[in-house]
Amino acid sequence: MITATMAMRRNQNLYRQKAELKLGPVSSGFVLIAITAVLALLYLNAVTKTAVFGYELSQMQQARNEAVAANQELEIEAARLTSIQQIQKSQAVAKLVPTTQVTYVK
Amino acid sequence: MSPPSLAANASNQRLDWLYIAIVLLGILTVGRLFYIQIIQHGDFARLAANEHQRKYEVPADRGQIYLLDGDTKVPLALNQQLKLLYADPSIVTNKRRTAEQLAKITGQPAEKYVNAMEKGKEYALLETKINAKTADKIKALRLRGIGFKDQTFRTYPEGSLASQVLGFVNADGKGQYGVEGFLNKELGGQPGHLNAKTDTNGVPIASSDNLDRAPVRGTNVVLTIDRSVQAQAEKFLAEGVINVKAESGSVIVMDPNTGAVKAMANYPTFDPNDYSKVTDYRVFSNAIVSDNFEPGSVFKLFTVAAGLDSHKITPNSTYNDTGCEKIDNYNVCNAENHKLGPNTTMTVVLRDSLNTGVMYILKLMGSDPATITKASKQALHRYITQRFRFGQRTGIEQAGEAAGFVNPTTTSNVTYANMSFGQGISVTTLQTATAISAIANGGKLYKPYLVEKYITADGSEVAARPKVVNPHVISTQAAKDLGIMMEVVVHRGSGYRAYTPGYKIAGKTGTAQIANPNGPGYLPDKNIGTFAGFAPVEDPKFVVMVRINKPNTPGFAEVTTVPVFANLTRWLLQYYAVPPSG
C-alpha cells in the first residue's frame, strides 16, 4: 500500500522554505526602546493637553472672577444710589412736606 | 609549570586593589544612596514637593447683611473685589517719576508714594481699595516694580446707618463689634483648599493629583432693623443730643409683640467704610447693649410692677408721702424736695416720680410693711432678676453685650431702697426696653432679636421665630394697670411733652446720677436722662427708649429725652398707620 507520505518521499525534489523572523537581543532592545518612546510621547501629549486645559481653565476662572467683580461693583453702586442718604439728598424728597393732619377711614 | 613572574604578581595585586577599591566605592555609593533615598526620603520629598506643589487657601465670600425697608431687603454690608497697589522699591528705577505717574491716576499726592517707597526695602504698600478701572490704567503704564494684589473688602453702601449694630470687618477679614463680630463664624463661611502641582510661575496645572475643596460662602443675614425707622431714630437722636449739648445718646425701637428690634441708634456714630479714621474707639460699641448704667426713675416701673403683680398695691392704693424716709441712718428723699403728704396714690407716685412711694412698695413686699426686711428685698430681687431678667445677658446677636448688675439680698437696706428707684443697680438700655415690652404686651417676656432670617449658601432660608423667655412676668391685669399709670405720666406728668392728642401713649422718665468713676458717690453736675414708653396703650405697636448722657442744659429727663421720644413716637404712629385711640 502506497501512502501519501511515501509518495511525498518519492518526490524528494519538492522543496518548501519556511520564513522565520528571529529577534536577537539587540533588536529586542531597540524595539523595547521604541515602544517605550512612543508610550512616553503619548503620555507627554496627554499630560501637556491636560496642562493646556488647566491654563484655559485658569483663564476662564480669571474671566469669571472679573465678571463677578464687575457685577459686585454694579450691585454696590446701585445700593449706594438707593441708600437712605442719597434718597434724603434727592430733590424730589426735598420738595416733600411733612404730614400734619392724618385722617383714618374706619 | 613555571612560577609567575614578579611583574605578573604585582599586576595581579594592583588589579585586586582596584577591584577592592571599586567594590568599596560601590558600597559607599549604595550606602549614600540608601541614606538619601531611604532614610532622608521624607525631607527630600518635601523639598521637591515645595518646588512644584503648592497649597492654596481659597477664601470664602463673606455672607452679606441686609436690613428691611417695609418688606423689601436692602443691602447693608456687601463684598467688593478691589486691588491693593504695592511697589518693590529695589526694582523701581526712578521712584519720583513712578510716584508722579501713579499720582496722576489715583489723584493722591506723589509725595505719599515716594515716602512709602523710600521706607520699604522690597515691599511698600502704596494704596488700598483700587478698583478695576484704575488698576487697568496703572497696568497700561507698564511701570517696573509696581504690582497688584487682589483683596476682598467689606463695603457698607448705607454709610453710617446702623453702624454700631453692624460693626465692621478689619484688615484681617475678621468681624469686629456688632453683628459682624457676633456672627463672624456664620458670615465668614468655610475657606476652600487647593493642593496643586504648579508650573515655574506658580500657576496651578490641572492634574488628577490635585486636591480641590471649593469654599463655602458665608451665610447671608437679614436683620429685623427697619431702614426708615433706623434713619428717623438716628435723625431725632442726633438733633436731641445736639440741642441739649449732651455727650452722647441712644435710642431703641422694639416690637413688643415679638421682641424684634426695629432700630438701634447711637450718637455719635461712625462710618464703617472708614473705621480706621476713628480715634475714639468707644464709638464702635453699641451702647444700647454694651453700656451698663444706673437707670434712675425709669426703674420705678419694675418696683411698681412687682407691687401690682404681688397684689400689695393697686393704682389707687395710698400712702403718706413724708418727702424723706430714714433708712439705715440715711435720709432718702424725693427729688426737688417733693412732699405730697397723706393719701398719695400709686398713680401719683409714678406720675411725680416719688422715691418715697416706691420705697413704700418695697416695704409692703416683705413681712413688715413698716420697714425694709430681708423678705422684701428677696421679693424685689426675685422680680428683677427672675421675672424681668436684669443682671443677665439677653443673648441678642451683638458682640460685647453687658449683663448689668443687681445687688444681692445680703446688701444693706439703703442699697435696696435706692434700687427701688433705679440707683445702685446697673442695667442696659436693651434689658430695660425688653422688660418694658413685657409690660406693654400684657406680661410676656420675649428674647430680643436682630436677625430676621439666615440665608445659607445653598439658598435655604431659616427664619427667626420670636422666643418667649417667660410667658407670665407679671399678670395681664398688673400689666394693664401699669400701662394706664404710665399713660398718666405722659398725659399729666413728667412725660407731658410726649402727649399727642388722640393717642394713648405710656411712658416714664428717669434722671439718674452718674457714679463717680474715681471714688465713692456720684458726679455732682452730670446725669443720664432716660425715657421709655410705648404706644398705643390699648394695642402697643412699638416700645421706644431714649437715653441721653451728660446733657449740658438745666432740667431733668423731661427736657432732655422726652422731645426725642415725642418726635420719634409721632413719626412712628404715622409710619405704622396707627389710627387715633378714640
CA distance B546 to B295: 11
pLDDT at residue A55 is higher than 90: no
CB contact under 8 A, A79 and B227: no
Within B35-162, residue ranges assigned H as helices are 41-52, 95-106, 110-119, 132-140
Q: What residues in B contact A100, CB-CB < 8 Å?
A: none
Residue B187 in contact with residue B32, Cβ under 8 Å?
Answer: no
B492 Cα to chain A: minimum distance (Å)? 23
Mean pLDDT computed over B533-560: 93
Q: In a mutagenesis test of the B interface, which of A84, A97, A106 is the best target, namely the one with the most B β-carbons within 10 Å?
A: A84
Q: pLDDT band at B357, cuts 50/70/90?
A: very high
Q: Which of B107-111, B437-441, B539-543 has the lowest mean pLDDT?
A: B107-111
> What pLDDT shows up at residue A47?
82
Compute φ and ψ for B462, nearest 5 degrees. Answer: -120, 110
Q: Over chain B, what is the mean pLDDT?
A: 92
Residue B510 in contact with residue B422, Cβ under 8 Å?
Answer: yes
> What pLDDT shows up at residue A93?
82
CB contact under 8 A, A82 and B74: yes
Nearest to B132 among A69, A76, A99 (CB): A69
pLDDT at residue A10 is higher than 70: no
pLDDT: is B6 or A77 the higher one?
Answer: A77
Mean pLDDT computed over A42-60: 85
| Complex ipTM | 0.74
Q: What residues in B contact A104, CB-CB < 8 Å?
A: 577, 579-580
B209 close to A (CB below 8 A): no
pLDDT at residue B1 is higher than 60: no
> What pLDDT shows up at residue B558?
84
Q: Ranked by mean pLDDT, which of A101-105, B334-338, B575-579 comes out on top?
A: B575-579
Q: Over chain A, what is the mean pLDDT?
A: 81
Q: pLDDT band at B206, cuts 50/70/90?
A: low
pLDDT: is A100 or B148 the higher one?
Answer: B148
pLDDT at residue B226 is higher than 60: yes
Q: Ranked by mean pLDDT, which of B128-137, B165-174, B474-483 comes out on top?
A: B474-483
pLDDT tens sequence across B11-60:
788 888 999 999 999 999 999 999 998 999 999 888 887 777 777 788 89
Residue B493 in contact with residue B351, Cβ under 8 Å?
Answer: yes
pLDDT at residue A72 is higher than 70: yes
CB contact under 8 A, B155 and A76: yes
CA distances to B3, B20, B465 from B12, in Å: 14, 12, 100
Nine-digit cell string for B84 = 491693593
pTM above 0.90, yes or no: no
Compute φ and ψ for B56, nearest 5 degrees. Answer: -115, 140
Cell 435710642 found at: B251
Q: What residues in A contact B81, CB-CB < 8 Å?
A: 65, 68-69, 72
Q: Which of A56-70, B354-368, B472-486 has the lowest mean pLDDT?
A: A56-70
Q: Are strands B451-455 and B461-463 parallel, antiparallel or unpaired?
A: antiparallel
DSSP-based three-state secondary structure for B247:
coil
| Exposed/middle/buried for residue B475 (C-beta within 10 Å: 0-12, 13-18, 19+) | middle
DSSP-based three-state secondary structure for B202:
coil
pLDDT at residue B106 is higher than 70: yes
CA distance A102 to B12: 126
Q: Please state, for a pLDDT cut of 70, what percent of chain B lies above it.
A: 97
> Where does B419-471 show beta strands of DSSP type E?
445-446, 451-455, 461-463, 468-470
> What pLDDT shows up at residue B190?
92
Q: In a mutagenesis test of the A interface, which of B61, B205, B581 is the best target, namely the one with the most A β-carbons within 10 Å?
A: B205
Q: What residues in A contact B78, CB-CB < 8 Å?
A: 72, 75-76, 79
pLDDT at residue B4 is higher than 90: no
CA distance B113 to B127: 9
CB contact under 8 A, A50 and B155: no
Q: What residues in B contact A82, CB-CB < 8 Å?
A: 74
DSSP B535-546: E-TTS--EEEEE
> What pLDDT shows up at residue B252?
98
Q: Which residue of A has its CA nearest to B196?
A: A54
Q: What residues in B contact A50, CB-CB < 8 Å?
A: 205-207
Q: What is the DSSP letter of A17?
A: P
Buried b (16+ CB within 10 A) or exposed e, B442-473: bbbbbbbbbbbbbbbbeeeeeebeeeebbeeb
CB neighbours (10 Å) of residue B555? 12
pLDDT tens sequence across B380-439:
999 999 999 999 999 999 999 999 999 999 999 999 999 999 999 999 999 999 999 999
CB contact under 8 A, A85 and B161: yes
> What pLDDT shows up at residue B6?
67
pLDDT tens sequence across B139-158:
999 999 999 988 888 999 99
Residue B507 in contact with residue B563, Cβ under 8 Å?
Answer: no
pLDDT at residue A23 is higher than 90: no
pLDDT tens sequence across B235-247:
999 999 999 999 9
CA nearest to B255, candidates B449, B486, B510, B476: B449
Nearest to A79 among B78, B206, B577 (CB): B78
Nearest to B75 among A50, A54, A79 (CB): A79
Q: pLDDT band at B538, cuts 50/70/90?
A: very high
pLDDT at residue A6 is higher than 60: no
CB contact under 8 A, B158 and A57: no
CA distance B33 to B12: 31
CA distance A63 to A56: 10
Q: Sign of torsion, CA B111 B112 B114 B118?
A: positive
Mean pLDDT computed over B115-139: 88
